[in-house]
Amino acid sequence: MSPGSEVGPAGSATAEQIVAAARLVREGRTYSLAAARYPGMPLFPGHPPFQVLNYRTPRGIRVTGAQPWGPVNEAGLGYMAEYVMATSHSGAHIDALAHMTVGPDSHWYGGGSADAHLTDFGPRHGDAEKLPPLFTRGVLIDAPGHRGVDCLPKGSPIDAAEMEAICARQGVTVRPGDVVVIRTGYMGLWPDAERMAAHKTPGPDLSAAGWLLERGVVATGTDTETYEVQPAPDPGSPANPQPVHTLLLIENGIYLMESLDLEALAHDRVYEFLFVALPLKIRGATGSMIDPLAVI
């Protein structure tokens, strides 16, 4: 297997593409595309809850008589340290290529499979250690802005024709090497769990995924917890509950991002920008929490 089989098309960015992306910055304005993470935050129900737990506190050090610096501490110096226990798919995040598997052999992009590459400490092929930095042109596709609503209805698909119409209305063209982020309005409801549940889950369908592939994107994201529309309008045969993940991530190595906060971008009608995301290189992890930036 070649090194590229663990990275996908996002690893092929040229120096010219990076320089061109940097030239998109003209005003020095930044937009954070992530919401805060905290215990009790909304998550895809198949993931473990997000937790922040104290390990060391000033009082705990004093009560237990701990001496992390040795016996000399007349000033009463203390500190705080914590465990963060969470899935790497908490809040705004990017899926590693090994995140999703398919078929009786549980294979994933680039020749990875459960039998050959899954250890007791996570996958060793296409895991988060191989995630590349993303520094490229970004494009926002604002579906609720196009439809004139605050948030798309529950289970509403965004198809290829609508993607094309939105781009025409916004005056943008998707190019090879781009990251395309798709707003459904779902994060505009954050963190109201009841309102969010009432809108689960709009998103791109298979035709939209094909549209993105044709244009050569290297990554794409939405503001929902599942990226694609759920339930799948056309699960195919054999039935597949997430055919878009299968087409983009498993079959083509296109990185998927979820729970991106795209509200401020849409409010300011920023449809083209420098997109920056730096995943954590954690061996064996199947994704990485990110705090991506859009910069103009």
pLDDT 10s digits, 227-276: 999 999 999 999 999 999 999 999 999 999 999 999 999 999 999 999 99
pLDDT in the model for residue 5:
82
- Section 111-139 average pLDDT: 97
- Section 56-62 average pLDDT: 96
Rounded CA gap, 274 and 264, in Å?
15
pLDDT in the model for residue 4:
66
Backbone angles phi, psi at 141, to 5 degrees: -115, 110
How much is the mean pLDDT over the chain? 96
Residue 1: is its pLDDT beyond 90?
no
Among the ranges given (72-76, 135-139, 284-288), the one the predictor scored with the smallest mean pLDDT: 72-76
SS3 8: coil
pTM over 0.85? The answer is: yes
Q: Cβ(184)–Cβ(225) under 8 Å?
A: no
Q: What domains appear along the chain, each with residue ranges and CATH number?
A: 3-36+88-295 (3.50.30.50), 51-85 (no CATH)
Token pair for 220: 């794409």
- 225, 224, 152, 141: which is closest to 178 by C-alpha? 141
In the chain the beta strands, taken as DSSP E runs, fall at 30-32, 51-56, 81-85, 93-95, 107-108, 112-113, 118-119, 122-123, 134-142, 157-158, 179-183, 203-204, 219-222, 255-258, 272-277, 287-289, 293-295
Residue 184: is its pLDDT beyond 50?
yes
Percent of residues, the chain, with pLDDT higher than 70: 99
Q: Tens digit of pLDDT for each residue in 2-18?
A: 546 899 999 999 999 99
Other C-beta atoms lying within 10 Å of the C-beta of residue 126: 26
Q: Tens digit of pLDDT for each residue in 157-177?
A: 999 999 999 999 999 999 999
Q: Cβ(273)–Cβ(138) under 8 Å?
A: yes
Q: Tens digit of pLDDT for each residue in 241-253?
A: 999 999 999 999 9
- Section 61-83 average pLDDT: 94
